[in-house]
Structure 1
Amino acid sequence: MTQPTETTGRMKRSPDHEDEVLDVRGHRDPDRNRLTPVVQLPPKTALTVIDALAGLVRAAHRQEGERPAPPGEPKRAQVFEEGDVFMLEPPFPGFFADRYLMDFYDTAARDICSRMHLHTGLRFVRMMTGPDTTIRVSSLSPITIRPATGPFAPLASFADHLPGTPDGARRERHNVIVPPNSWVDMQIPRGVSHQFNAVGPHAVIDSVHPEESIETLREGMSGYRMMAQTIFLAKDRSPAATCADTGTPETNPPR
């Protein structure tokens, strides 16, 4: 097997390591993430959808606590840095993809941001927000914003510097804000950096991993966990203030 390159995707050094870190100074994205604004909903409608989907995740985690998944079976209630996760649709022989729902943590309430990271397999993500909630999407490369599929307020975008980089290293971070009561789709190519942080209590991700089980077998991990494909680009998480800005003059005064 030829060694993977940045253009074809990167494998983890240790598939079972759930906190593998890649030196951000040497990483270069092989492509760009793409955002497609889908629809903006009335606040009550958006909240109903978010509560229903988040309720599935919370019920799955209660069930996992009461009746843990047997050894050797996929653990469908999992935990990511950004939120609690429920594997809604696991893969099966002949269908090498899975789908999960994520109930976002409120970054402001926890006073901590998730880290920039990449995956060894591509992703499709639908981000959904309710009232008084935004999601800040970030990457080390500019994010392509595709035309909206219908009426949709322009998305705020801005650049800042990635926090927590090694001494003497500066990496520009590109950010887009998903506004309240909105659905936005994101296409994440293999190996491209990204970071999600919700500010507010009502945010959910519906995500499909089209290569999940193929990549899991390729990497040779010993148990099925979605974290098998995650490689972080920072050793430590940073305070909420480093990901709470929305790019508006009120939150980003001139420096």
Structure 2
Amino acid sequence: MKRSPDHEDEILDVRTHRDPDRNRLTPVVRLPPEAALTVVDALAGLVRTAHREEAERPAPDGTLKRAQVFEEGDVFMLEPPFPGFFADRYLMDFYDTTARDICSRMHLHTGLRFVRMMTGPDTTIRVSSLSPVTVRPSAAFGPLTAFTDELPDTPEGVRRERHNVIVPPNSWVDMQIPRGVSHQFNAVGPNAVIDSVHPEESIETLREGMSGYRMMAQTIFLAKDRSPADTCAGTTAPEDVPTPDDVPAP
């Protein structure tokens, strides 16, 4: 899939990309705010500790760097692959999109992903894709908010519809992401983490000819630049702008 295996900012033309499948969301559980915050804080704390240690004692060249940076947040490889076991596991401490006024870009990965999104109080995650997101039924949840808008900052004359689902506060929601399917996560609020399994990490690295395990290298972006927060932080459908024909005559 990659033109340059180790490139960490490879761009695919959004005009020609078509998702080969759909992402699937499974709402898992709603938690009391205190319990949700305890879980999020504990997991985010592991990521932050790993990044402090990396800053103090950087991983030597040629060795596995477990504390990494991704567009959506800081990540930590909790469990690396080993011979005979292809999968690994990452934790990600989400950035607050509104605090930075930057959205992550729509992207796809060189292998499939299994992601558990967890939110605490006053925090949502906007999940987006260029194809409709299948939301599986759950006894623990009511319907999730879902809406469509237009992908921002596309080339002139190009319109791509973006499908969005909102992960509410104090929730766990799982997402199955097939290889090569577009997606975009943007957290709004300070309390959000991801527990992500890459089931074929060592296989996809070998398949692509990559020199190591790096999340950015396993990613292909569908935009060159990141857009401001007002293009991805909303949790409801954008209001229709009235045309002159819609405005009543005085």
TM range (shorter): over 0.9
Preserved CA contact (<8 Å) 1:216 1:228: no
| Equivalent residue, structure 2, for 1:234 | 223
| Equivalent residue, structure 2, for 1:177 | 166
TM-score, normalised relative to structure 1: 0.93
Aligned amino acid, residue 100 of structure 2 = R
Picking from 201, 213, 222, the partner of 1:224 is: 213
Matches of 1:222 and 1:178, distance apart in 2: 35
Matches of 2:232 and 2:104, distance apart in 1: 9
Matches of 1:224 and 1:204, distance apart in 2: 20
| Equivalent residue, structure 2, for 1:211 | 200
Aligned ranges 1:59-70 → 2 under 5 Å = 59-70=49-60
The answer to whether the aligner puts 1:41 opposite 2:31 as a matched pair is yes
Preserved CA contact (<8 Å) 1:212 1:226: no
Preserved CA contact (<8 Å) 2:47 2:91: yes
| Equivalent residue, structure 1, for 2:74 | 84
Matches of 1:253 and 1:190, distance apart in 2: 33
| Equivalent residue, structure 2, for 1:31 | 21
| Equivalent residue, structure 1, for 2:98 | 108
Partner SS, residue 45 of structure 2: helix
| Equivalent residue, structure 1, for 2:156 | 167
| Equivalent residue, structure 2, for 1:5 | none
TM-score, normalised relative to structure 2: 0.95
User: Per-residue CA shift, 1:37-65, capped at 9, x if unaligned?
Assistant: 00000000000000000000000000001
Matches of 2:126 and 2:161, distance apart in 1: 15
The answer to whether the aligner puts 1:254 opposite 2:240 as a matched pair is yes
Displacement, 1:223?
Answer: 3.1
Aligned amino acid, residue 143 of structure 1 = V
RMSD: 0.9
Matches of 1:87 and 1:238, distance apart in 2: 27
Picking from 67, 71, 88, the partner of 2:61 is: 71
Preserved CA contact (<8 Å) 1:96 1:214: yes
The answer to whether the aligner puts 1:136 opposite 2:126 as a matched pair is yes
User: Per-residue CA shift, 1:104-162, capped at 9, x if unaligned?
Assistant: 000000000000000110000000000000000000000000011x3213100000000
Matches of 2:213 and 2:28, distance apart in 1: 32
Aligned amino acid, residue 17 of structure 2 = H
Partner SS, residue 170 of structure 1: coil
Matches of 1:14 and 1:64, distance apart in 2: 27
The answer to whether the aligner puts 1:119 opposite 2:109 as a matched pair is yes
Displacement, 1:238?
Answer: 0.1
| Equivalent residue, structure 1, for 2:185 | 196
| Equivalent residue, structure 1, for 2:40 | 50
Displacement, 1:206?
Answer: 0.2
Preserved CA contact (<8 Å) 2:27 2:140: no
Structure of greater Rg: 2
Preserved CA contact (<8 Å) 2:70 2:215: no
User: Percent of aligned positions with the same letter in both sequences?
Assistant: 85
The answer to whether the aligner puts 1:151 opposite 2:137 as a matched pair is no
Aligned amino acid, residue 28 of structure 1 = R
Unaligned runs of 5+ in 1: 1-10
| Equivalent residue, structure 1, for 2:6 | 16
Partner SS, residue 217 of structure 2: helix
Matches of 1:50 and 1:15, distance apart in 2: 33
Partner SS, residue 26 of structure 1: coil
Aligned amino acid, residue 181 of structure 2 = V
List structure 1 segments (4+ residues) > 3 angstroms apart after TM superposition: none
Displacement, 1:224?
Answer: 2.7
